[in-house]
Amino acid sequence: MRPDTRAIDAALRLLSRDWAGLPIALLPAAVGAWCITLDGGWRVLGGVLCAAALALALGSLRHLVHVARVRVRHPPPGRMVDVGGHRMHILAEGDRGNRPTVVWMPGGHVGGYAMYPLHALARERMRSVLADRPGSGWSDPGPFPRTTATEAVELLTALERGGEKGPYVLVGHSFGGLLMANAARLRPDLVAGLVLLDPTPPDAIAFGPPIPALRRASGQQIAVAARRLFGLHALADRNGAHSSGGPAEVLSAVETRTRAACAAASILRELSPDGITRDGWHTVVHDGELGSLPLLLVAPRDLTGGDEIFDKADAEENARLRHFFLTVRERFLTASSNARRVYTPAGTGHDFPNQVPEFVVRVVSSFLEECAPDAPHSP
């Protein structure tokens, strides 16, 4: 591990603790107190530093009060499961019957509660499980760095220790799809099938054009964590706050703890050319690695959205970009000899799990019938 990576991990580890603002505030306070003992302009500087330290300390206390209120208002709806020194939250509901248990994983690095609308529909028909990646939702932050390979192991451990029984059908959207593919690769004996909802294609990161939103993502999450740590919640969450009520608002409130942004900042470093080169061997699921595991790739027929990438290119380059992104997405079909494609309804884009949840649950329910409950596939 490179020295700069170790330094970033150490900083994220500190920032992920909601109380960290108080000791951080002591640093300018100590320097300011020393400056006050000197003559001339140093005393002015000392006064400014002490005032800044007081502002930071008050902001930190505001954050701690906010965290305490959120903890009381929004206790974990499921179970907290120890996965080796830190706990993960899982919410499991519904009757399993003679079919595999379905485990959902949202995109980005947000808590499993982001897929609650699908879970609420699914639990009436199947055993449905939502899991919070470490740091997200109600889960503890876990060790740093955060990686997809590590979180695949943690997910399987949480399911086992939480009392859930395989085989599972793992369902992952976007970045969550990459996680679920890794979990299936690690423990094919526990997996009856894999449903990938427009999963993140590693080739798009390694060989594709620069994607500004991904390039900025990790740094933006660090900035969000710092603002939250010192009580600037409205500023930190101005682009992601939910006001519609329901599960989205609950998750938004729970993830105002700094650990959510720090964990996301850590793992999103994988989604860069350097990151995918560093972690690719443990992250990418290659051709044929899933053997004959039933695999369903569910994604839009076209590339609805993505204007930030396509609109800046000329006609020739635009056509090449669209061909590239449509092609690399299909690479997941080569991971298993028993894979097939399902297109989402016309007009839907990458966010189709939120746009047409009934469609997604219907597809997963039909897929369950095809997966033998007592015969997990192995490569």
> Which pLDDT does position 242 carry in this prediction?
44
**Exposure pattern of 79-97 as b/e (b: 16+ CB <10 Å)?**
bbbebeeebbbbbbbbeee
Please list the residues that pair with 299 across neighbouring strands: 343
**Burial (CB count within 10 angstroms: exposed 0-12, middle 13-18, buried 19+), residue 340:** exposed
Q: Are 122 and 365 in contact (CB under 8 A)?
A: yes
Distance CA 154, CA 133 (A): 8
> Which pLDDT does position 243 carry in this prediction?
47
Q: Tell me, what amino acid is at 175?
A: F
E-assigned strand segments in 132-242: 168-173, 191-197
> H-helix or E-strand containing 90?
strand 87-93
Both tokens of residue 110? Answer: 């947000």
Give me the torsion for CA of 48, 53, 58, 61, rounded to 10°: 170
Distance CA 41, CA 50 (A): 14
Q: Minimal CA–CA distance to 299: which of 334, 326, 271? A: 326
> H-helix or E-strand containing 102?
strand 101-105
Distance CA 336, CA 292 (A): 5
> Which pLDDT does position 241 carry in this prediction?
44
| Cβ partners under 8 Å of residue 220, min gap 6 | none
Distance CA 309, CA 318 (A): 9
Distance CA 135, CA 197 (A): 23
Distance CA 97, CA 127 (A): 8
> Which pLDDT does position 214 carry in this prediction?
83
| Cβ partners under 8 Å of residue 238, min gap 6 | none
- Pairing of the two strands 101-105 and 128-131: parallel
**What is the full DSSP assignment across 343-377?**
EPPTT--TTHHHH-HHHHHHHHHHHHHHS-TT---
Assign 194 to helix, strand or coil: strand
Each of the 379 residues of the chain gets a pLDDT tens digit; together they read 555 678 899 999 999 999 999 999 999 999 999 999 998 889 999 999 999 999 999 999 999 999 999 999 999 999 999 999 999 999 999 998 889 999 999 999 999 999 999 999 999 999 999 999 999 999 999 999 999 999 999 999 999 999 999 899 999 999 999 999 999 999 999 999 999 999 999 998 888 888 878 888 999 999 999 999 999 987 656 544 444 568 889 999 999 999 999 999 999 999 988 899 888 899 999 999 999 999 999 999 988 766 666 666 677 778 888 888 889 989 999 999 999 999 999 999 999 999 999 999 999 999 999 885 554 444 4
**What is the full DSSP assignment across 53-68?**
HHHHHHHHHHHHHHHH
Phi, psi of 210, rounded to the nearest 5 degrees? -60, 135
**What is the full DSSP assignment across 295-312?**
EEEEE-SS--S-HHHHTT
> Which pLDDT does position 238 carry in this prediction?
54
Distance CA 352, CA 360 (A): 8
Distance CA 7, CA 80 (A): 30
> Which pLDDT does position 237 carry in this prediction?
62
Both tokens of residue 258? Answer: 């700094």
